[in-house]
Amino acid sequence: MADLGALLQTPLAELHAALGAKMVPFAGYAMPVQYPLGVMKEHLHCRAAAGLFDVSHMGQVILRGANIDVVAQAFETLVPMDVLGLAVGKQRYGLFTNEDGGIEDDLMFANRGDHLFVVVNAACKEADIARMKSVLEPAVSVEVIEDRALIALQGPAAEAALARLNPAVADMVFMDVADVELAGATCWVSRSGYTGEDGYEISVPSESAEALSRALLDMDEVEPIGLGARDSLRLEAGLCLYGNDIDVSTNPIEAGLIWAIQKVRRAGGDREGGFPGASHVLGAMAEGVARKRVGLLPQGRAPMRAGTQIFASREGGEAIGEVTSGGFGPSVNGPVAMGYVGTSYATIDTELYGEVRGKRMPLKVAKMPLVPANFKR
């Protein structure tokens, strides 16, 4: 058993204990991996009704400058996204790239009128904050938010549940952000998440996090969901886990994240390049890449986990790829995976083989998401 005492705790630590969560170390925090319901039922509940996740381990940062354009312009030197063109009250997916065009982290950023609100991964947050400070300051201040929890409410019943606390949330659509009063606290709400389901992410003052969570959990359709199910939900949804599916050695084009790079930042765009590693990223876009991230459906029942080598034939030959995330997909009711394969093998329905315990088992390149997304656009 790991020493959980040495780990950081989220503002919801007492609630997790009261709910009977199994806690594990994750990115320096003690986090709930599952509740008594178990990973499989938690996953299915989230797809059928609504699940509440504690994601307070993630980093929350506010970027402020003389005005929002100053902040957006500065932030564009760090990410290949259209930040200046992001409307007030909207959020966007982003990437921090490095000089080699690799991915340092993935993130969400929102235009909240007079500032940008950025959410980064727990394991990368120290480096991300240092990066932002070194590049953006002093023109833009980097304020790390330490006094707010972050929770996610995900699933088809999320809107009905959250609207009971404030009907205004029903008017939001995918990637909208707004200040919303919930259970007596001013929350920063976005209509987004990382499960492939409709839902919300809610930044709530730490002292109000438990009351808000309990108000939601008191509703019939809401169950607490741990990191175990969060992982299988995002995998079925075809969403990358930083550190598994993308990392410093991955070009965003290989990762299939070209959609996240808006036209204005691409070759020929008004603000072409100007982010770390732009020549590598735009070069990959122009010339193509040797490998691509694909969805994978093992044809048997055996899960193919991260690290599983992929081959073009049942016998012989070198590996042509590798699984980067894999496991059991409760909604698919079978094994699901994603990984990288040589570009010539990346076409949907290509039949390949994954080597499990020395045996090559068939798998198919599959369209992502592996389970249809359910966003409210």
Would you tell me which residues interact with other proteins (CB under 8 A)?
34, 38-40, 228, 232, 301-303, 305, 327-328, 330, 335, 357
What Rg do the C-alpha atoms of the chain give, in angstroms?
21
In this structure, the number of other CB atoms found within 10 A of the CB of residue 5 comes to: 7
Q: Smallest distance from the beta carbon of 206 to other proteins, in angstroms?
A: 30
C-alpha to C-alpha distance for 207 and 341, rounded to whole angstroms: 47
The rounded distance, in Å, linking the Cα atoms of 203 and 371 is 27
Nearest to other proteins of 37, 209 (CB atom)? 37
* Residues 6+ away with beta carbon under 8 Å from 1: none
Q: How far is the CB of 263 from other proteins (least distance, A)?
A: 40
For the residues of 249-311, what is the DSSP string, one character each? T--TTTTT-GGGS-GGGSTTSTT---STTHHHHHHHHHH--SEEEEEEEESSSS---TT-EEE
Backbone angles phi, psi at 233, to 5 degrees: -65, -45
The DSSP 8-state label assigned to residue 357 in this structure reads T
User: Are residues 189 and 200 in contact, defined by beta-carbon separation less than 8 angstroms?
Assistant: yes
Question: Based on CB atoms, which residue is closest to other proteins, 230 or 265?
Answer: 230
Given the complex with other proteins, which of 38 and 167 has the nearer CB atom? 38
Cβ atoms of residues 76 and 275 within 8 Å: yes
Least gap, CB of 247 to other proteins (angstroms) = 22
Of 38 and 274, which CB lies nearer to other proteins in the complex structure? 38
**Would you say 39 or 68 has its CB closer to other proteins?**
39
Question: By C-alpha distance, which of 134, 127, 126, 132 is closest to 109?
Answer: 132
Per the CB < 8 A criterion, the answer to whether 178 and 89 are in contact is yes
CB of 232 to other proteins, least distance (A): 7
Q: Which is nearer to other proteins, 35 or 188 (CB)?
A: 35
Shortest Cβ distance from residue 13 to other proteins (Å)?
22
Main-chain phi, psi angles of 48, to 5 degrees: -95, -30
Q: Please report how many Cα atoms fall inside a 13 Å half-sphere around the Cα of residue 52, on the Cβ side.
A: 26
Return d(Cα 209, Cα 299) in angstroms, integer: 43
Residue 357 or 377: the one with the smaller Cβ distance to other proteins is 357
CA distance 280 to 303: 34
Q: How far is the CB of 366 from other proteins (least distance, A)?
A: 18
Min dist CB 301 to other proteins, Å, is: 5
Shortest Å, Cβ 100 to other proteins: 33
What tokens were used for 140? 């833009």
Name the residue nearer to other proteins (CB basis): 151 or 235. 235
Identity of residue 101: G
